Structure 1
Amino acid sequence: MTKKAYLISAYHEVNNQDALAAYAALAAPALMAAGGRFLARGMPAAVKEHGKMNRTVLVEFDSLEQALAAYDSPAYQEAVAKLVGNAVVRDMRVIEAV
């Protein structure tokens, strides 16, 4: 059985709201078209230990391969191109389910 995979994005800084909005308008449809399902997005309900009150996005995919292909897809990369310069500072990672 294939393990699900999760794309996690934590925004440390948002320096250009217009660029973020342009990115979001393209990113969500691109990731969903590639099989992604948004499980959570927004500000944390609570932070613990060294957590920070930063916008976080969690997208589920059916496999690691699907998640990586979604990130590398031309449609998603078109969205990423909207984040020119230092529009955002974020940390993205893809992890597999246990």
Structure 2
Amino acid sequence: MKGYWLIIGKEISDQEAQREYGKLWKPIGEKYNARINPLEVPPALKEARDAHRVTIVEFPSYELATACYDDPAYQEACRFALRASNRELLILKGELA
């Protein structure tokens, strides 16, 4: 069964940190066969309060989704993501089709 990260974030307040996160994320995402926003129709953000962005990251399995998050390289990259904006990240198991 596939695994997903659901990331709900506020506006990006530190563009430099976001760029660094993007650079660090690329090889990590490739390592875990992650696909960003795999749906044909992006999710609609409703009743968002402070949120401005929704990102879905799809992994071949739930185990890979959790392993990616726990990977020391991702934890290093995550520091930049959290500096770039406030966000919530949930890890889900299932199929989105």
Which bin holds the TM-score, normalised by the shorter protein?
0.7 to 0.9
Could you tell me the TM-score, scaled by structure 1's length? 0.75
Equivalences for residues 1-98 of structure 1 within 5 A: 3-40=1-38, 46-48=44-46, 50-51=47-48, 54-83=52-81, 86-98=83-95
> Distance between the aligned counterparts of 1:45 and 1:92, measured in 2?
15
> Distance between the aligned counterparts of 1:45 and 1:93, measured in 2?
15
Structure having the higher strand fraction is: 1
Q: CA deviation at 1:55?
A: 2.0
Assess, with a 3 A threshold, how the Cα gap between structure 1 residues 47 and 67 changes in structure 2: closer, same or farther.
closer
The number of residues matched between the two structures is 92
Could you tell me the TM-score, scaled by structure 2's length? 0.75
Contact 2:14 2:85 (8 Å CA) reproduced: yes
Structure 1 residue ranges (4+ consecutive) displaced by more than 3 angstroms after TM superposition: 44-48
Tell me the percent identity.
Answer: 33
Structure having the higher helix fraction is: 2
